[in-house]
Chains A and B, each alone.
Chain A
Amino acid sequence: MADPLLVIENLHKKFDHLEVLRGVDLRMNGGDVVSIIGSSGSGKTTLLRCVNLLEDFHEGRIVVDGQEIGYAVKGGRRVRLPNSIVARHRALTGMAFQTFNLFPHLSALGNVTLGLIRVRGMKKDEAVAIAERWLDRVGLLERRNHYPGQLSGGQQQRVAIARAIAMNPKLMLFDEVTSALDPELVNEVLNVIKDLARDGMTMLIVTHEMKFAYEVSTRIIFMNEGRIGEEGPPSEVFNNPKTPRLAEFLKNSSF
């Protein structure tokens, strides 16, 4: 078996005095699709943001593809790495946000090529070719010159996914990517993610779409009060919850 692609060990995160993550341990292998479910405020978003180094964390380690990210131990003390290295570590993972966060002043194509050119150092032609391939993949090639303001929410989110994944990250992070969308636009986005899963992309997904999580995941994680409350294969977690908290959560969720 190959080395794990993502290792999270004893991750702790506080906002002032509020401890939001209280010792999270997680391992993913290449090709795993792990969905995180759990009630509001349980720390799902914070966990993803730590993996993408958008949040600092106080204790624990995160290793992506064999590289510890964000921090190093120097002279027995844990230090945050300089910003230039942190930026490089961030590029190991791709993130899609609930609110898309496309750059409004750039076309769909411009959104996707920006990172390819500025971070990956590609020539414009090369970046455009890759960006067009991914825009095609999410079904938006003919909209490549549209600006975000000219696209529907579902289309914007698909461009945002293309933007993240074109960077060729080791791991894709999705944070409730459909919860800001009108119901009729949800499926076009979920289908893109399913398509990526079939391709063997390693993904960590926070979602409230239980049916989708059931179908797409190799493993489900139930977050509860900053810890992993329960985990296992979808059939296990959804059909035989072992803790009353998960049973309660599932009872209140819609499928």
Chain B
Amino acid sequence: MEFTQFLNELWIARGALWQGLQLTIAVSVLAIVLGTVLGLFVGMVLVYAWRPFKLLVRLYVDFIRGTPVFVLVLASFYILSVIGIQLTAFQAGVLAITVFCSSHVGEMVRGALQAIHRGQTEAAMAIGLTFRQTFQYVLMPQALRQILPTWVNAATEMVKASTLLSVIGVAELLLSTQQVISRNFLSLEFYFFAGLIYFVLNFSIERFGRHLERRLAVY
């Protein structure tokens, strides 16, 4: 019976797959969190910074967004070591996806900040808030609410992008699945199984995003 054989092999491979899943989650969470924080700064710079600085960051964003993530992963692993920065494969991978994430979040934040009506800033200034306070209490909360749906989408993209770390030898879920398949040859079953897990991960992220949207949908 095919299915019991698969269950058997799954049981044998459970440790490797579990490790792979943990790595996938670690890479994704790190990249999403760091990339979002960095992206908030990128967005702020794109809107408010001193002109030359703004241009520099614009260049960064356009360059990163125009480069395939695959290339970013290879570059941060191989090229950085050439110029003397030694990163582990895990670190290099997280760096690549973080950078990728930050440029997308940066663009979202820029768009959201620029879409806020000028009257918001003026009303905040008129009651005596400083610019920093205006940003913190008036502009940023509105921008974050605004980008939430696209951000959730981007977060799921980061989970998918984490599979690219398999090419530099990070044994995340995809690579551990491939390693398991190379021992038991049940490729169809195990790829399907991995696919299911990615679906569950991203489905959870989307549900969580919807939940947040509903909670924040007061205005």
Contacts and interface: CB of A to CB of B under 8 A. Distances in A.
Interface of A: 52, 54, 83-84, 87-88, 90-91, 93-95, 97, 99, 101-105, 114-115, 118-119, 147-150, 160, 163-164, 167
Contacts of A119: 127-129, 133
5 contacts: A90-B125, A101-B122, A114-B124, A114-B138, A167-B127
Contacts of A167: 127-128
A83 B131 contact: yes
Contacts of A101: 117, 119-120, 122-123
Contacts of B211: none
Nearest to B130: A87
B130 A104 contact: no
Contacts of B141: 105
Given A99-B119, A150-B219, 15 more contacts: A52-B126, A54-B125, A83-B130, A87-B129, A87-B130, A93-B126, A101-B122, A103-B142, A105-B145, A105-B219, A114-B127, A114-B138, A119-B129, A149-B218, A167-B128
A102 B125 contact: no
**When A and B form their complex, which 10 residue pairs have the shortest distance between CB atoms, in order from nearest?**
A91-B128, A115-B127, A101-B123, A101-B119, A119-B128, A95-B126, A149-B219, A147-B219, A104-B219, A87-B130
B120 A163 contact: no
A87 B128 contact: yes
Given A114-B137, A149-B219, A88 B119 contact: no
B133 A118 contact: yes
A138 to B, nearest CB: 16
A88 B128 contact: yes
Given A97-B122, A147-B218, A149-B219, A103 B128 contact: no
Nearest to B216: A105
Contacts of A150: 219
Nearest to B122: A54
Nearest to A88: B128
Interface of B: 117, 119-120, 122-131, 133, 137-138, 141-142, 145, 218-219
A54 B128 CA distance: 11
Nearest to A89: B128
B70 to A, nearest CB: 39
Contacts of B125: 54, 87, 90
A135 to B, nearest CB: 15
Nearest to B127: A115
Given A114-B137, A147-B218, A148-B219, A97 B119 contact: yes
Contacts of A84: 130
B3 to A, nearest CB: 52
Contacts of B145: 105
Nearest to A119: B128
A103 B76 CA distance: 43
Nearest to A92: B128
A115 B142 contact: no
B122 A163 contact: no
Given A97-B119, A99-B119, A101-B122, A115 B219 contact: no
Contacts of A93: 126
Contacts of A95: 123, 126
Nearest to B128: A91
A227 B122 CA distance: 25
Nearest to A160: B123
A103 B127 contact: no
A101 B123 CA distance: 6
Nearest to A104: B219
A89 to B, nearest CB: 8
A164 B124 CA distance: 10
